[in-house]
């Protein structure tokens, strides 16, 4: 058989006869110009056998279209795609000994797997698996014994598009088959990304403040945000002209709580795996890409959804055009509003529209954590804060469960505080001068409850609105202010005979009862403006015979424990509450049901507070019929002498009948029309 290269030489003589393809005329063993080779390869690509090209195949050889693969831009080639089934194209290779080309996934196109089959004279001689993350691969086909070459792709499930480019025919190739991107700034590098899932990956590279990334309270203006939208989040870059890449890794604020792994690949080989969690501190990373062509990041999220980001990207030592912003706070309210990853309720409106109560106080700002079983978190950036102060307490009427407050600085636990429903106010000061992020985490191990961090102080900044303390206008108002009251305890404060109780034969309209119960029950009151609380304690008639006790706590200290029996007569008690914030009464009847009550409950208010006023038992019998005259002439003209005696009108030093006679004479004088004053009249 005659060698095809000999045939190729003869083919030049028959160029215009149409017996062999026109491109063969240029493929000789003699030196030829690059332009001639480019044109000849273009002629080969376009000279496919008539009716052999399927709809999934596109030839790019006219200089108006390009093919993008692995970040490179190819000037000529073929793209082949198949969603279901297959697509192929055939060429006459009767005058070609060897054909080489590069195959790779086409950037930003479907990444479904395909199989590329090489078929010579209708016989498959080779096949190759094509995947979306494949490296560029050069394929060599020996066509020395073939007349027809068919290139066929077959879908393996899901559509995909792949390119064949950088063709070489019998060792001859294009002069500039492709170009490689180069970058002057991190922003230009970021925007060159390809093969990324737009549902999972977003690129921020505008060098302005139109789009931002929030991480650990900071604001970044460029980077890559990756999440678990649909499948693995992935993004690729050509790094043939990049020797080093730097970036900062972090969790995106309010971006979910799932953990993740960031897989870094260089030319398809895994170079590193980085574990990521939502509570992570920012992590700076440097990556050597001097020996790589393609860099790929894959984010795999486990558990619940989450977002993570690569920010503050640098290339070859060139930093981003815009650095990040670190928050500073002009007020405690501004600090509260800058929270992130928040599982709590924030009060920071500087008004009375919303509030909550702790130990009777009404708070308008703060952080409320509430749960029945689990953990609630909130985070703040404190890079420009030295100290945080706050008051910790139980939220009134929120449940009985205990909890634990964990305080973390940069992910390291700095302190724990035990929280209970009966706790007094706990004033706390936290040094954050050595921290970037503080996290408050409240763990609820059992039944539901709520706790709050109130009266927040950021360095020298205090809340615009702190709290109001209850002030009682009456004993009934005090009783109505009860909080954290058990279902077995009831207060009577309306002076209504329909709601009353009887102790030792006497009916009471006001007080606190623990009735027909088995076990315990309590109620609490704020006493910051109260010097003492007094009451009459006794057994409720016909309520049972069980013995028990009443324990009184002032703040968290037990100050009184009183045994209760059905036979005991009512007895008076007074509890000192000066310098205290809360009083709690705990009834306990451990064995047999019974009922006990506190009647005649009265509070002695502190001096600066208005004293309670009792309700009048009867209305006044008569109202004044006239208002006092406002005529100045009817007011006294002189005050009585401080040296004289009141009633000594004649100033003789004694009060006797003479003074009375003078008054009667003056009255007669005035009655007859006299106009002198009493003093003038007596001086005559």
Structure tokens at 614: 């009792």
**Looking at residues 595-613, what average pLDDT do you find?**
78
pLDDT at 633: 36
* Sequence-separated (6 or more) residues with CB below 8 Å from residue 236: 70, 71, 133, 193, 194, 195, 196, 294, 295, 296, 297
**Looking at residues 59-77, what average pLDDT do you find?**
95
pLDDT at 200: 84
pLDDT at 560: 97
* Sequence-separated (6 or more) residues with CB below 8 Å from residue 617: none
What are the backbone dihedrals phi and psi of residue 163, each rounded to the nearest 5 degrees, phi first?
A: -120, 145
| pLDDT higher than threshold 50 for residue 290 | yes
pLDDT at 353: 82
Contact of 538 with 570, CB cutoff 8 Å: yes
pLDDT at 197: 80
Q: Which residue has the higher pLDDT, 383 or 38?
A: 383
| pLDDT higher than threshold 70 for residue 417 | yes
| pLDDT higher than threshold 80 for residue 594 | yes
Q: Which domains does the chain have, with CATH numbers?
A: 4-179 (2.60.120.1060), 186-315 (2.60.120.1060), 332-468 (2.60.120.1060), 475-605 (2.60.120.1060), 642-684 (no CATH)
Top mean-pLDDT range of 137-146, 598-607, 620-629, 648-657: 137-146
**Looking at residues 211-225, what average pLDDT do you find?**
94
pLDDT at 75: 94
The CA-CA-CA angle for residues 169, 171, 172, to 5°, reads 65
Mean pLDDT estimate for the chain: 86
Give CA–CA dist 407/386, Å, rounded. 15
| pLDDT higher than threshold 60 for residue 18 | no
Helices (H), 298-421: 332-337
Lowest mean pLDDT among 20-29, 90-99, 526-535, 599-608: 20-29
Residue 211: half-sphere exposure toward Cβ, Cα within 13 Å = 11
* Sequence-separated (6 or more) residues with CB below 8 Å from residue 376: 343, 344, 369, 370, 441, 442, 444
Of 331, 313, 287, nearest in space to 460 by CA: 331
Residues in the chain: 684
- pLDDT tens for 506-563 read 999 999 999 877 789 999 999 999 999 999 999 999 998 899 999 999 999 999 999 9
| pLDDT higher than threshold 60 for residue 24 | no
**Looking at residues 341-349, what average pLDDT do you find?**
93
Residue whose structure tokens are 């909130």: 378
């Amino acid at each position: 058989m005659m060698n095809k290269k000999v045939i190729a030489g003869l083919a030049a003589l028959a160029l215009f006869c149409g017996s062999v393809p026109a491109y063969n005329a240029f493929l000789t063993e003699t030196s030829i110009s690059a332009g001639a080779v480019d044109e000849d390869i273009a002629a080969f690509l376009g000279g496919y056998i008539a009716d052999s090209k399927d709809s999934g195949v596109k030839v790019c050889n006219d200089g108006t279209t390009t093919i993008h693969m692995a970040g490179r831009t190819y000037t000529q080639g073929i793209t082949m795609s198949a969603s279901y089934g297959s697509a192929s194209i055939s060429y006459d290779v009767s005058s070609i000994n060897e054909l080489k080309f590069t195959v790779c996934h086409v950037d930003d196109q479907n990444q479904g797997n395909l199989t590329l089959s090489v078929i010579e004279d209708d016989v498959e001689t080779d096949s190759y698996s094509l995947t979306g993350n494949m490296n560029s691969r050069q394929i060599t086909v020996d066509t020395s014994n073939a007349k027809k070459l068919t290139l066929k792709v077959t879908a393996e499930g899901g559509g995909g598009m792949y390119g064949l480019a950088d063709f070489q025919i019998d060792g001859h190739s294009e002069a500039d088959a492709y170009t490689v991107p180069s970058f002057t700034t991190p922003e230009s590098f970021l925007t060159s990304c390809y093969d990324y899932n737009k549902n999972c990956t977003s690129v921020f590279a505008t060098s302005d403040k139109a789009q931002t990334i929030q991480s650990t309270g900071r604001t970044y203006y460029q980077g890559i945000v990756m999440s678990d939208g649909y499948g693995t989040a992935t993004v690729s870059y050509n790094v043939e002209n990049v020797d080093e890449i730097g970036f900062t890794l972090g969790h995106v604020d309010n971006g979910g709580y799932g953990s993740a792994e960031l897989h870094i690949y260089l030319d398809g080989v895994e170079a590193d795996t980085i574990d990521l969690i939502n509570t992570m501190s920012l992590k700076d990373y440097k990556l050597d890409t001097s020996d790589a062509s393609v860099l790929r990041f894959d984010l795999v999220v486990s558990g619940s959804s989450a977002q993570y980001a690569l920010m503050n990207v640098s290339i070859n030592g060139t930093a981003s055009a815009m650095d990040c912003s670190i928050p500073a706070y002009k007020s405690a309210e501004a600090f509260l509003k800058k929270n992130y990853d928040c599982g709590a309720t924030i009060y920071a409106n500087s008004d009375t529209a919303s509030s909550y109560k702790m130990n009777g106080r009404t708070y308008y700002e703060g952080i409320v954590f509430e749960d029945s079983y689990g953990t609630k978190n909130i985070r703040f950036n404190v890079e420009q804060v030295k100290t945080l102060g706050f008051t910790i307490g139980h939220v009134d009427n929120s449940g009985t469960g205990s909890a634990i407050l964990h305080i973390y600085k940069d992910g390291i636990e700095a302190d724990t505080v035990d929280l209970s429903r009966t706790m007094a106010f706990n004033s706390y000061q936290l040094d954050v001068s050595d921290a970037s992020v503080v996290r408050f985490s409240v763990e609820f191990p059992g039944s539901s409850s709520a706790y709050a961090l109130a009266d927040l102080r950021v360095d020298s900044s205090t809340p615009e609105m702190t709290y109001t303390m209850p002030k009682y206008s009456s004993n009934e108002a005090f009783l109505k202010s009860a909080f954290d009251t058990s279902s077995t305890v009831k207060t009577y404060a309306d002076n209504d005979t329909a709601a009353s109780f009887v102790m030792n034969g006497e009916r009471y309209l006001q007080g606190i009862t623990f009735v027909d119960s088995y076990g315990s029950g309590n109620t609490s009151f704020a006493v910051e403006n109260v010097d003492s609380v007094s009451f009459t304690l006794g057994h409720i008639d016909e309520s049972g015979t069980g013995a028990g006790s009443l324990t009184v706590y002032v703040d968290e200290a037990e100050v009184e424990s009183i045994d209760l029996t059905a036979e005991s007569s009512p007895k008076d008690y007074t509890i000192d509450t000066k310098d205290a914030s809360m009083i709690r009464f705990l009834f306990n009847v451990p064995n047999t049901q019974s009922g006990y009550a506190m009647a005649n409950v009265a509070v002695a208010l502190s001096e600066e507070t208005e004293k309670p006023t009792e309700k009048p038992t009867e209305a006044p019998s008569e109202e004044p019929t006239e208002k006092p005259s406002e005529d100045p002439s009817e007011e006294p003209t002189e005050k009585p002498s401080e040296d004289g005696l009141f009633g000594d009108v004649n100033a003789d030093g004694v009060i006797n009948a003479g003074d009375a006679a003078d008054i009667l004479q003056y009255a007669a004088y005035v009655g007859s029309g006299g106009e002198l004053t009493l003093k003038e009249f007596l001086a005559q």
